[in-house]
């Protein structure tokens, strides 16, 4: 099978992903093999490739927003069939026995495994996946629309929940890329008033098109205090700027697997019973809930397509904020 494989972490401008031809694997116990149709390209892939986060071993095939069809099933899998269309998200598996797993927080399991990080991901023609981690994809969502939902969408939805957002509240979104452009559609569905903070003029225009009532940069002052806010940009200096804009009792959620250092800041930015928390991965239940919501709204993904061998260029465009929405690799048609 053809795949874009990471052998050595380095800046994406140096084209670290290499096109390789690897033997197809047979699924083991509890696993399936999926023929990949499309795979979204995520900031986590960028962090993995450039060395901001480090997979347990190299080489590794990135990619964790996979849409495809099951073409082989291993022993011990009884509820799936060859030909079924499925999604493979970032969360792959967990131990199932620790305090986090037993309380519905398997995203925090110390032995959790993630697609494209612990196991080979979807920048390839085929992927071997744990059958328990698959997500059903509605026939109402076509492949290119579905791929961004599997990480950008799911983690954005979890971020809204961890921000304690209630219907009708005022929400701030800092950064407006793949995740935020989906989260805003959920927030609008909940009748929230959305303020977007971004440097990119294209992203500003995109935010307005999707219903933002105010758009500016992180240093700008919005016309009203925010009830809740989410930071999507992996930039620590935004944290005090965001807290300054949140009312007492409000919540700031930070949606970033990697972030530059948060600068020293005065205590009064967090005083007033403001809450600040990180968002770490997502549970399978988050995926089930969000994908149902995506049909109900319905959510529309904005995307730009690339061929498998253009994965490096997709990451470069992502890094330089040249995309509205998300890059999606088209691997088989």
Regarding the domain with residue range 2-152+281-330, which homologous superfamily does it belong to in the CATH classification? Medium-chain alcohol dehydrogenases, catalytic domain (3.90.180.10)
What's the whole-number mean pLDDT along residues 135-140? 96
Q: Residue 3 — very low, low, confident or very high, per pLDDT cuts 50/70/90?
A: very high
> What pLDDT, in 10s, does the model give residues 195-205?
999 999 999 99
What's the whole-number mean pLDDT along residues 60-82? 97
Regarding the domain with residue range 153-278, which homologous superfamily does it belong to in the CATH classification? NAD(P)-binding Rossmann-like Domain (3.40.50.720)
What's the whole-number mean pLDDT along residues 143-151? 97
Report the percentage of the chain scoring pLDDT > 90.
99
Q: Residue 257 — very low, low, confident or very high, per pLDDT cuts 50/70/90?
A: very high
Mean pLDDT of the chain: 97
Q: Residue 20 — very low, low, confident or very high, per pLDDT cuts 50/70/90?
A: very high
Sequence-ordered list of residues with C-beta below 8 angstroms from that of 36, at least 6 positions apart, any chain: 66, 67, 68, 122, 124, 125, 126, 127, 331, 332
> What pLDDT, in 10s, does the model give residues 158-186?
999 999 999 999 999 999 999 999 999 99
What pLDDT was estimated at residue 332?
Answer: 87
Domain boundaries, the chain: 2-152+281-330, 153-278
Residue 67 above 90 pLDDT?
A: yes
Residue 333 above 80 pLDDT?
A: no
Taking the complete model, does pTM exceed 0.85, yes or no? Answer: yes
> What pLDDT, in 10s, does the model give residues 101-127?
999 999 999 999 999 999 999 999 999
What pLDDT was estimated at residue 109?
Answer: 97
What's the whole-number mean pLDDT along residues 28-49? 97
What pLDDT was estimated at residue 277?
Answer: 98
CB 21 within 8 A of CB 2: yes
């Amino acid at each position: 099978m053809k795949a874009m494989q990471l052998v050595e972490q380095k800046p994406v401008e140096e084209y670290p992903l290499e096109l390789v031809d690897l033997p197809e694997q047979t699924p083991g116990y509890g696993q399936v093999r999926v023929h990949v149709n499309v795979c979204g390209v995520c900031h986590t892939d960028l962090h993995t490739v450039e060395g901001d986060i480090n997979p347990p071993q190299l080489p590794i095939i990135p990619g964790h927003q996979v849409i495809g069809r099951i073409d082989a099933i291993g022993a011990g899998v009884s509820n799936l069939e060859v030909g079924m269309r499925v999604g493979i998200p970032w969360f792959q598996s967990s131990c199932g026995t620790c305090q986090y797993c037993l309380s519905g927080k398997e995203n925090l399991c110390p032995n959790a495994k993630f697609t494209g990080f612990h196991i080979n991901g979807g920048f390839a023609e085929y992927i071997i996946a744990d059958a328990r981690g698959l997500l059903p994809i509605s026939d109402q969502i076509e492949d290119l629309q579905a791929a961004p939902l599997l990480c950008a969408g799911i983690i954005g939805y979890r971020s809204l929940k961890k921000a304690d957002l209630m219907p009708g509240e005022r929400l701030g979104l800092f950064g407006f890329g793949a995740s935020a452009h989906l989260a805003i559609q959920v927030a609008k569905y909940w009748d929230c008033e959305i303020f977007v903070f971004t440097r990119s003029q294209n992203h500003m225009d995109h935010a307005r098109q999707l219903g933002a009532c105010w758009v500016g940069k992180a240093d700008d002052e919005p016309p009203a205090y925010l009830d809740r806010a989410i930071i999507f940009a992996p930039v620590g200096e935004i944290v005090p700027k965001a807290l300054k804009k949140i009312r007492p009792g409000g919540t700031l959620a930070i949606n970033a697997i990697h972030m530059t250092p948060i600068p020293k800041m005065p205590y009064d930015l967090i005083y007033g019973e403001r809450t600040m928390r990180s968002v770490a991965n997502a549970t399978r239940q988050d995926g089930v809930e969000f994908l149902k919501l995506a049909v109900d709204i319905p959510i529309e993904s904005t995307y730009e397509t690339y061929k498998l061998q253009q994965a490096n260029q997709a990451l470069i465009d992502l890094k330089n904020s040249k995309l509205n929405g998300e890059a999606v690799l088209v691997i088989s048609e």
